[in-house]
């Protein structure tokens, strides 16, 4: 075990025999996800490993031969959550059913930081007459959660699907409305999930509208036309992410594109090799991870319930793993 005294970070190089469930995992699925982004990793050692991976080696042997699992700890309690790609009902034109606009990014929102708050954007005429509406949806609560996720799909009346992705934000910090409900004494912390919040807002339309205004952050979108319907949304590496194989991490501790062994505990334990291909504003810490559960309501229900402990190990190239050791420790 190695400790970085300045940052109080501990590094422990693990053996594959200590990874719970390692032998049983589908390593080929993890290798396929790794190949989706490894060519974008700039360091020479990753370029070499990516070339080797493209030769289609036996997946489990490939990871064991060229990587070592490293447990990185920063003193914070490990936390695993889930995220997903929402699918909303919407229209390209405003109607009596579809009244809530999905906005493109105004140019001045990039210049003036922070720009107008959520309340000001939705209750003043600052967005009127600017032709920034990408689409209109039928549910302001689902739109709020679309902004939290950062990307999603809008199902049009014709049956076609419009994909939207993150274009920017108004520069205000996000405030958790789940935490706010706990502070108000509405729920206990263990009771809060995305679905619980949605149901409460819908049962209490006036108070619910004000609750959504509790977070002044507002996210703008752009239309995405170059992703096949069967592919996942783009992650932080600007590549399509993979259901149950992509994990969002803190890049301060985990290199984007690196394999990560997940041992999530809780009601539904998970043991799986995933790839660090995304980030998130709430994903901070060496043992903090957000697992991508896929697209739609079923994925959203599963992701929204997830709040578990456990541990994760980053699979580092052998040279980099042992470089973490102090001189003379090998």
CB burial of residue 172 (10 Å; 0-12, 13-18, 19+): middle
Residue ranges with strand state E in the chain: 2-4, 9-13, 67-73, 79-85, 87-91, 100-103, 133-137, 151-155, 161-169, 219-224, 246-248, 259-264, 270-278, 288-295, 307-308, 310-317
CATH topology of domain 2-82+232-323: Barwin-like endoglucanases (2.40.40)
Q: What pLDDT sits at residue 30?
A: 98
User: Which pLDDT does position 330 carry in this prediction?
Assistant: 59
Degrees (nearest 5) of the Cα angle 142, 144, 145? 65
Q: Are the CB atoms for 86 and 143 separated by under 8 Å?
A: no
Q: What is the DSSP letter of 173?
A: P
CA angle 39, 260, 242 (to 5 degrees): 60
> Looking at residue 328, what is its pLDDT?
59
Closest by CA position to 127, among listed 99, 104, 95, 96: 104
Cβ–Cβ contacts within 10 Å for residue 238, how many? 10
**CB 217 within 8 Å of CB 175:** yes
The whole-number pLDDT of residue 281 equals 76
Q: Token pair of 195, please?
A: 């679905």
Per-residue pLDDT tens digits of the chain, which is 330 residues long: 555 445 589 999 999 999 999 999 999 999 999 999 999 999 999 999 999 999 999 999 999 999 999 999 999 999 999 999 999 999 999 999 999 999 999 999 989 899 999 999 999 999 999 999 999 999 999 999 999 888 999 999 999 999 999 899 999 999 999 999 999 999 998 898 888 999 999 999 999 999 999 999 999 999 998 888 889 999 999 999 999 999 999 999 999 999 999 999 999 999 999 999 999 878 999 999 999 999 998 999 899 889 899 999 999 999 999 998 766 565
CATH number of this structure's domain 86-224, picked from the four choices 3.40.1000.10, 3.40.50.150, 3.40.50.2300, 2.40.240.50: 2.40.240.50
pLDDT value, residue 5: 44
Please tell me the pTM assigned to this model: 0.82
Domain layout of the chain by residue ranges: 2-82+232-323, 86-224
Q: Do domains 2-82+232-323 and 86-224 have the same CATH topology?
A: no
- 3-state secondary structure string, 186-239? CCCHHHCCHHHHHHHHHHCHHHHHHHHHCCCCCEEEEEECCCCCCCCCECCCCC
126 vs 104: CA distance, rounded Å: 13
């Amino acid at each position: 075990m190695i400790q970085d005294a300045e940052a109080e970070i501990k590094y422990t190089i693990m053996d594959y025999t200590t990874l719970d469930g390692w032998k049983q995992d589908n390593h080929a699925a993890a290798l396929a996800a790794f190949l989706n982004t490894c060519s974008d990793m700039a360091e020479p050692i990753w370029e070499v490993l990516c070339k080797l991976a493209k030769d289609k080696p036996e997946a489990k042997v490939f990871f064991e031969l060229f990587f070592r699992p490293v447990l990185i700890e920063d003193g914070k309690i490990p936390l695993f959550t889930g995220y997903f790609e929402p699918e909303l009902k919407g229209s390209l034109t405003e109607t009596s059913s579809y009244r809530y606009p999905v906005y493109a990014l105004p140019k001045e929102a990039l210049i003036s930081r922070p720009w107008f708050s959520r309340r000001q954007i939705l209750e003043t005429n600052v967005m009127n007459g600017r032709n920034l509406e990408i689409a209109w949806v039928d549910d302001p609560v689902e739109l709020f959660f679309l902004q939290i996720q950062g990307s999603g799909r809008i199902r049009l009346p014709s049956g076609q699907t419009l994909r939207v992705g993150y274009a920017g934000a108004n520069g205000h910090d996000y405030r958790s409305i789940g935490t706010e409900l706990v502070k108000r004494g509405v729920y206990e912390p263990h009771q809060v999930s995305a679905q619980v919040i949605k149901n409460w807002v819908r049962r209490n339309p006036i108070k619910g509208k004000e609750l959504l205004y509790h977070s002044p952050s507002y996210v703008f979108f752009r239309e995405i036309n170059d992703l096949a319907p069967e592919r996942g949304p783009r992650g932080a590496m600007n590549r399509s992410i993979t259901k149950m194989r992509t994990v969002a991490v803190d890049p301060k501790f985990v290199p984007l594109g690196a394999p990560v062994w997940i041992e999530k505990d809780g009601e539904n334990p998970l043991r799986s090799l995933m790839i660090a291909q995304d980030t998130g504003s709430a994903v901070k810490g060496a043992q903090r991870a957000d697992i991508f559960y896929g697209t739609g309501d079923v994925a959203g229900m599963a992701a929204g319930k997830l709040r578990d402990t456990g541990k994760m190990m980053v699979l580092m190239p052998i040279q980099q793993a042992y470089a973490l050791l102090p001189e003379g420790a090998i």
